[in-house]
């Protein structure tokens, strides 16, 4: 497995593929147990792996489900700081659908996931409450409320 990530003491570059699941006016977000902010689920791409395959693999690893990848929403150049390091993240954000028979599809309480030993907390949030949450990248607070009709290129910086 060759993840597309490069880092040194000060900077990290990551290629990330992200899934947007929206059901009944709610969006699925997750966070690592140690973090105090929410993000969309997804993960790092591997060399020679198409982006849609990355998303399917990550959802299988984190949630144990096979998702339907619907369409590309955003190509995002995301710049931020995390754990004392500047980050340059290139991300593909896809609309996805979890299986109809997935028990957590209608969950009202948080539920657990796992990514290589990192405990993840997943939760569905009403779209209208996103402005009250710490969600990164922060353009999603508005972007998720009105999905683009076609792919958009976004350059975003969170300070």
Give me the CATH number covering residue 68: 3.90.79.10
Q: Is residue 151 part of a domain?
A: no
74 falls within a domain:
yes
Residues of the chain where predicted confidence (pLDDT) is lower than 70: none
Q: How far apart are CA 133 and CA 125, in angstroms?
A: 10
Please tell me the predicted confidence (pLDDT) of residue 89.
Answer: 98
Residue 25, domain extent = 5-99+111-146
Which residues are CB-contacts of 12 (< 8 A; sequence separation ≥ 6)?
Answer: 5, 6, 85, 86, 87, 88
The torsion defined by the Cα of 128, 129, 134 and 136, in degrees rounded to 10, comes to -30
């Amino acid at each position: 497995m060759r993840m597309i990530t490069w880092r040194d003491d000060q900077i990290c570059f990551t290629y990330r593929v992200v899934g947007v699941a929206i059901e009944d006016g709610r969006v699925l977000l997750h966070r690592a147990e140690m973090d105090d902010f929410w993000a969309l689920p997804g993960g790092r791409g591997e060399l020679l792996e198409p982006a849609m395959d990355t998303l399917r693999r990550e959802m299988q690893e984190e949630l144990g489900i096979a998702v339907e990848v619907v369409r590309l929403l955003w190509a995002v150049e995301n710049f931020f700081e995390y754990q004392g390091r500047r980050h340059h993240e290139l991300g593909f954000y896809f609309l996805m659908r979890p299986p109809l028979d997935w028990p957590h599809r209608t969950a009202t309480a948080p539920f657990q996931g796992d990514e290589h030993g990192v405990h993840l907390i997943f939760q569905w949030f009403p779209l209208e409450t996103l402005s009250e949450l710490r969600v990164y990248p922060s353009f999603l607070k508005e972007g998720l409320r009105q999905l683009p009709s076609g792919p958009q290129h976004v350059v975003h910086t969170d300070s």
